[in-house]
Amino acid sequence: MKILVFSSLNVDYDYHMDHIARPKETIVADSFVLAAGGKGLNSSIAIAKTGEHVYLAGVLGTGAELLEKTLLENNVDISLLDRQNVPNGHAIIQIDKNGENSIFIYGGSNACITKEYVDKVIAQFDEGDLIVMQNEINNQDYIMQKAHEKGMKLLLNPSPCNDSLKEQPLELVDYFFINEVEGEILSGCPEPEDILENMKLKYPRANIVLTLGSTGAYYYDGTNKVFCPARKVKAVDTVGAGDTFMGYFTYALSKGMTPAECMEIATKASSITVQRYGAAAAVPTLDEVNALD
Ligand code: ATP
Ligand code: RIB
């Protein structure tokens, strides 16, 4: 079984500050770091850090040498990446003294996926292979359709949760990874238990993974429900927690682990990510995860 992440790569501009700037307020950041990020890049690195082979598809633009270097250092297979002479996508990230963040992204290269490129990538995969997606690139509907036609299993984190999702065939998704905000938008329900039930009713094919930050996460497939509490740790920067969770869960799934085992390893891995600064740079190796009790 092969694993493909078809998604975004961002140059992250990380600013650490006392609090997140309010409307009309100008503040001075305490520090600045240029980091490798993007939900696709982060989750591909999480999978690669388990030692598993993973392909990342997407568009690498200009000014993104750091991203290529980081992907190569972490053994992500970038042979399928498209390269275009357009500015790479980026993210502006404010991180406050409690580790809380506020992010906006600019699509750039991530908005330059062509249908011809999608066809070329999907042609390399077969029935039963896994495709991991988020919602930071264009032509998502086409990718989902083509992957489904191939019989690939579709894992989606519908973030950012915006109007583009309305054009996407979400009924084809096999695994949703959502947080409370995305869950409420997609299901119309604010409470976790109701989100799970309503998501399952709306998307009967899908298994639902609902992450709840420092509270923990649920898995629900309509029959089995697993709740895995978050580990008690001191979080300094939660950027990339969801991507780490999704990456480790995908790895565990590819190894045939049970839902409870997938949840446990993903919870452990993301508990390490939140104790470190950065997105991709914060993702732990499988040895570090296995060292936790
Ligand atoms: P992000 O958008 O910041 O990447 P997300 O909103 O997609 O994250 P979260 O629900 O915040 O995802 O986090 C995913 C998982 O990471 C949680 O289910 C939990 O296991 C772990 N996690 C997140 N925050 C903390 C924390 N403060 N302490 C321990 N574990 C955490
Ligand atoms: O999920 C974290 C990621 O979201 C960051 O790395 C940033 O690039 C945005 O895509």
Name the DSSP class of 67: H
The residue type of 144 is M
Q: How many helices (H) and strands (E) does the chain have?
A: 9, 14
What band does 139 get if pLDDT is binned at 50, 70 and 90?
A: very high
Domain boundaries, the chain: 3-290
pLDDT of residue 238: 96
What band does 37 get if pLDDT is binned at 50, 70 and 90?
A: very high
pLDDT of residue 88: 98
What band does 69 get if pLDDT is binned at 50, 70 and 90?
A: very high
- Give the CB-side neighbour count of residue 213, counting CA atoms within 13 A: 12
CATH C-level class of 3-290: alpha beta
Q: For 138, phi and psi rounded to 5 degrees?
A: -85, 170
Question: Average pLDDT of 67-86?
Answer: 98
pLDDT of residue 166: 92
What digits encode the pLDDT tens for the residues 271-288?
999 999 999 999 999 999
What band does 17 get if pLDDT is binned at 50, 70 and 90?
A: very high
Question: Average pLDDT of 255-278?
Answer: 98
What digits encode the pLDDT tens for the residues 82-123?
999 999 999 999 999 999 999 999 999 999 999 999 999 999
Q: Is the CB of 103 under 6 A from ligand 2?
A: yes
What digits encode the pLDDT tens for the residues 196-228?
999 999 999 999 999 999 999 999 999 999 999
**Which of the listed residues 209, 232, 271, 283 should we mutate to test ligand 1's pocket, taking the one with most ligand atoms within 8 A of CB?**
271
Question: Which of 14, 9, 39 minimizes the C-alpha distance to 159?
Answer: 39
Q: Which ligand is nearest to the CA of 33?
A: 2
CA 250 – CA 259 distance, rounded (Å): 11
3-state secondary structure (DSSP) of residue 180: helix
What percent of the chain has pLDDT above 90? 99
pLDDT of residue 173: 98
Residue 222 alpha carbon to ligand 2 centre in Å: 30
CA 112 – CA 110 distance, rounded (Å): 6
Q: Is the CB of 87 under 6 A from ligand 1?
A: no
Identify whether 190 is preceded by a cis peptide bond (ω within 30 of 0): no
